[in-house]
């Protein structure tokens, strides 16, 4: 290489002369970008989008980022104007012909604008508009974007690394907080213990650092508490869940236009009541919740509430009514759900069809459930469907396959940390093992389940039967009749 260096050096004067007429563009200063963002805001506010000259490039992204920051800043006095500009900007950015290499950046700008529109809608007391823009945000977020640097860093922090200093630089915008809450909500089914820990960390941090009581931070404090409560419910920690829901209410009632958040909180409390077996009380309260969700256009929440209604009817033994309700929910979800709830609904339909003796139809519904849930990565619902299929196969005398499915269901629930469902499914498995004359295996399953049953308050009115079951196992005289009595007491804990 040293042999060629003199030749290269001799070429430098010629290169300088040839490129003298070219100038490397200087990036605009922050003040220039801010001024252009203000100009764009004024033109968007005027409503004449076609007259705006705008290049969708790196400089244009910088201008839009400044605009998003301005629109997201708390400004109650100008919230109506900011809402109008946010919605106009969203349409304007959506219609631009963006280069393919800037597609993710465009989606992030659209997410930021949707959050700005949502926040300003809340401030002008437009609940329907706020709900619409939150759904717009979710649609773009899950379709086109990643959680973002702040969210990624938040989820990788271990307990030992977590500190106020580590958190302080993470949450600069409402969009970042919204992204974190979305990811926590999505992971509720797959990692409830992780969600409980992270939501608790987020809540504590926001409580300590929202010294000026900023309204939007109060909202996300409530969201964090609501998420922590939901995760604790999944894990069977009902007292903790109730406490978290109370904290969520304390935050939500201090925010603008709190009705949508408080309705979701009311639904969360009904879910907690379902775990306690309060089926009739829930059915009394649901109609007013249906009406409220419909009025605000909260379709996702409405589907979940109708699913809760069907689940209560099923738990009460009103199988025909429950089946009709589940079919209505299925037909509602088919056009829009990507498997998260739909697979669970198909599983329930299969279980109820089996109770009516329609075993072929039931197995067809189970197969649809498995296909949906495999795509959606919802192991908790998958564990339920495997258990429901096992029950159907048991009733048809196919005990070997039923045993294997019950074992898979136990393992799936155990991996999620769902101790109460592990215990319940072990009891179901033990029944089938006894029917198959595999007594020793059945006794091992019972012994594994009993500690959770006894300490987890799963059979509040059946502790005598549990004691009898333990004694019969200890004396190697395991009774199928006693086992079935314990299972009936536990049935209220089944989702």
Q: Could you give phi then psi for residue 305, rounded to 5 degrees?
A: -65, -40
CATH class, 341-414 region: mainly alpha
Residue 169 burial by Cβ neighbours in a 10 Å radius (0-12, 13-18, 19+): exposed
Pull the structure tokens for residue 492.
């209220």
Contacts of 142 (CB under 8 A, 6+ apart): 182, 186
Q: What is the CA radius of gyration of the chain?
A: 28
* Alpha carbon distance 72, 75 (integer Å): 8
**pLDDT at site 83:** 94
Name the stretches of the chain with pLDDT < 50: 1, 24, 493-495
| pLDDT for the residue 97 | 86
Residue ranges per structural domain of the chain = 30-145, 341-414, 418-495
Helices (H) and strands (E) in the chain, counts: 24, 0
State the alpha helices, DSSP H only, in 73-173: 79-95, 103-123, 127-144, 149-156, 164-168
* Prediction pTM value: 0.84
Closest Cα partner for 216 from 74, 121, 82, 76?
Answer: 74
In this structure, the dihedral spanned by the alpha carbons of residues 439, 441, 443 and 448, taken in order and rounded to 10 degrees, is -170
pLDDT at 145: 62
Q: Which of 160, 232, 246 is nearest to 200 (CA)?
A: 232
pLDDT given for residue 494 in this prediction: 47
The pLDDT of residue 413? 92
Residue 167 in tokens: 């958190």
* pLDDT confidence of residue 495: 42
Residue 452 is inside which H or E element, if any?
A: helix 439-455
Main-chain dihedrals φ then ψ at residue 114, nearest 5 degrees: -65, -40
In order, the DSSP letters of 12-38 are HHHHHHHTTT--PPPPPPHHHHHHHHH
By CB atoms closer than 10 A (0-12, 13-18, 19+), residue 151 is buried
- Classify burial at 137, counting beta carbons within 10 Å of its beta carbon; exposed 0-12, middle 13-18, buried 19 or more: buried
In order of 141, 274, 304, 312, 314, the CA distances from 341 in angstroms are 19, 17, 8, 16, 17
The Cα 352–Cα 343 span in angstroms is 14
Q: Are 225 and 203 in contact (CB under 8 A)?
A: yes
Q: What is the DSSP letter of 339?
A: S
Report the 10 Å Cβ neighbour count for 26.
6
d(CA 260, CA 293): 8
| pLDDT at site 21 | 57
Distance CA 181, CA 213 (A): 19
* Closest listed residue to residue 396, CA positions, set 428, 358, 344: 358
For the chain, how many residues are written?
495
SS3 162: coil
Please classify residue 385 by burial: count the beta carbons closer than 10 Å to its beta carbon, then call 0-12 exposed, 13-18 middle and 19+ buried. Answer: buried
pLDDT of residue 171: 58
Distance (Å, rounded) from C-alpha 9 to C-alpha 202? 59
């Amino acid at each position: 290489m040293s042999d060629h260096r003199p030749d290269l050096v001799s070429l430098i004067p010629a290169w300088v002369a040839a490129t003298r007429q070219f100038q490397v563009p200087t990036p605009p200063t922050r003040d220039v970008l801010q001024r252009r963002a203000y100009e764009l805001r004024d033109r968007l506010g005027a409503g004449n989008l076609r007259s705006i000259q705008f290049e969708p490039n790196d400089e244009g992204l910088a201008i839009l980022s400044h605009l998003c920051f301005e629109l997201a800043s708390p400004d109650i006095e100008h919230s109506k104007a900011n809402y109008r500009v946010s919605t106009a900007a969203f349409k304007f950015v959506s219609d631009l012909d963006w280069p393919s290499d800037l597609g993710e950046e465009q989606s992030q700008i659209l997410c930021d604008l949707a959050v700005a529109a949502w926040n300003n809608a809340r401030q002008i007391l437009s609940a329907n508009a706020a709900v619409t823009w939150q759904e717009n945000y979710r649609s773009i977020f899950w379709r086109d974007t990643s959680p973002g640097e702040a969210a990624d860093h938040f989820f990788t922090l271990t307990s030992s690394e977590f500190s106020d200093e580590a958190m302080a630089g993470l949450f600069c915008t409402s969009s970042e907080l919204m992204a974190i809450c979305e990811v926590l909500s999505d992971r509720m089914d797959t990692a409830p213990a992780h969600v409980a820990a992270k939501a608790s960390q987020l809540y504590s941090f926001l409580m300590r650092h929202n010294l000026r009581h900023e309204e939007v931070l109060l909202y996300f404090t409530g969201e964090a508490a609501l998420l922590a409560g939901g995760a604790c419910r999944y894990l069977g920690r009902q007292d903790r869940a109730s406490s978290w829901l109370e904290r969520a209410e304390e935050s939500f009632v201090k925010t603008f236009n709190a009705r949508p958040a408080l309705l979701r909180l009311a639904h969360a409390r009904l879910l907690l009541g379902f775990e306690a077996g309060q089926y009739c009380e829930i059915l009394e309260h649901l109609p007013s919740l249906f009406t409220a969700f419909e009025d605000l256009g909260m379709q996702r929440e409405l589907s979940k509430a109708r699913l809760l209604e069907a689940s209560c009817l099923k738990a009460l033994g009103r199988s025909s009514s429950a089946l009709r309700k589940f079919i209505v929910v299925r037909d509602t979800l088919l056009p829009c759900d990507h498997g998260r709830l739909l697979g669970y609904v198909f599983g329930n339909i299969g279980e109820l069809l089996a109770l009516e003796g329609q075993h072929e139809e039931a197995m067809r519904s189970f197969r649809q459930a498995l296909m949906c849930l495999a795509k959606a990565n919802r192991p908790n619902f998958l564990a339920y469907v495997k258990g429901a299929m096992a029950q159907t196969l048991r009733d048809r005398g196919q005990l070997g396959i039923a045993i294997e499915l019950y074992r898979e269901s136990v393992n799936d629930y155990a991996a999620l940390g769902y101790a109460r469902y592990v215990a319940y499914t072990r009891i179901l498995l033990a029944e089938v093992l006894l029917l198959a004359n595999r007594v020793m295996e059945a006794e091992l399953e019972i012994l594994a389940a009993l500690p959770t049953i006894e300490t987890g308050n799963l059979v509040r009115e059946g502790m005598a039967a549990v004691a009898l079951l333990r004694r019969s196992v200890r004396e190697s005289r395991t009774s199928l009749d006693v086992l079935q009595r314990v299972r009936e007491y536990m049935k209220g804990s089944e989702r």
